[in-house]
Amino acid sequence: MRSCSWKYLLLIFCFPLNLVAQDFSWWNDTHQWDGSTHWSSYIKLSPAFMGPNAFPIPFAEKLTRTNQFDFRFNTHSSIGETSWDIYTRFAFPLGDKAAIKIEMNPIEYFEMDASVRDERVARDEFPKGYASGDVLVEMNALIFENDKQQLLFNVGLKTASGTQFRNARYTDSPAYYLDLSYRIEKQYSESLSYDAGILLGLYVWQTYMINNRQNDAILAALSFNLYYKDYSVCQNLRGFKGYLNNGDQPLLYALKISKNWNAHQFYVAQQITLHDYPYHTTQFGVKRSF
């Protein structure tokens, strides 16, 4: 009888705690919930209202010729929010005319104040904690190449493996992009050269909207890279333009300075938001070829 009494006491104490954990009345009142629509339909699946890594945007890069591993620390600056993450990418050549890249943010930390929480319709009353990101797989195929030019066809697939969708960190929906990337190079001297690139394509992702299950966007990127001995300065402008006009037209500018040392490249970069993206980002990383 004594053991049964302990069970009943545990049930009495745990039952109200469970009710508290499931109480979303504050969310229902804040967002004027209609009593039937699922809460996920209220979240805007667009770059302006999600975490910093929810919508990866490709660069106008040249074909990978060596095995590479990229490891980077990112810190994101946004009013009302603290966020940082770890970024990893593996790149492997597939013969002389193709390559595959796999990237992910395995750890992301975030903390939002009440105004950001409500703007993004986050589900937790005090959104704070850790998330893990989506896996992005990109395939590159060489269409044309000579000593100074290169044309690639690229396919990117973003999985729905990221966590913390309830707090608008990752979309919990797949996305893909198709694009053509063209680059031209010029050598001024043995120690000085540059290359420039342009990328055009299509970016598509699923939404939770009843009338618009999919958003299609025009994708574009520009790059200009200057190389002097073991140093390089790289500039990139990239973004896409969706058709729903709900924060789905991000535009980002990035400046990266790097130093090569044997098989390693150490770099620091600053990314600035120009439109529909709430973060300025500082990056510190190292890339190794092997």
241 in Cβ contact with 275 (< 8 Å): no
C-alpha to C-alpha distance for 25 and 32, rounded to whole angstroms: 10
With CA atoms as reference, report the closest residue to 127 among 83, 73, 74, 79: 83
What mean pLDDT do residues 163-178 have?
A: 96
Give the chain's mean pLDDT: 91
> pLDDT value at position 86?
98
> pLDDT value at position 176?
97
Q: Is the pLDDT of residue 249 over 90?
A: yes
> pLDDT value at position 213?
86
The SS3 assignment for 172 reads coil
196 in Cβ contact with 187 (< 8 Å): no
If you count them, how many residues does the chain have?
290
The pLDDT tens digits for 223-233 are 999 999 999 99
> pLDDT value at position 211?
83
Q: In the structure encoding, which two tokens stand for residue 49, read together? A: 């209202």
77 in Cβ contact with 104 (< 8 Å): no
Percent of the chain with pLDDT over 90: 82
C-alpha to C-alpha distance for 136 and 35, rounded to whole angstroms: 36
Topology at the third CATH level for domain 42-289: Porin (2.40.160)
The pLDDT tens digits for 180-191 are 999 999 999 989
> pLDDT value at position 21?
53
What mean pLDDT do residues 171-180 have?
A: 96
Other CB atoms within 10 Å distance of the CB of residue 21: 8
250 vs 6, which has greater pLDDT? 250
151 in Cβ contact with 167 (< 8 Å): no
> pLDDT value at position 22?
56
> pLDDT value at position 133?
96
104 in Cβ contact with 134 (< 8 Å): yes
What mean pLDDT do residues 120-129 have?
A: 95
The pLDDT tens digits for 6-63 are 444 444 444 444 444 557 888 998 898 988 888 988 899 999 999 999 999 999 999 9
Other CB atoms within 10 Å distance of the CB of residue 12: 9
Q: Is the pLDDT of residue 97 over 70?
A: yes
What mean pLDDT do residues 91-98 have?
A: 95
**CA separation, residue 148 to residues 162, 246, 276 (Å):** 39, 40, 35
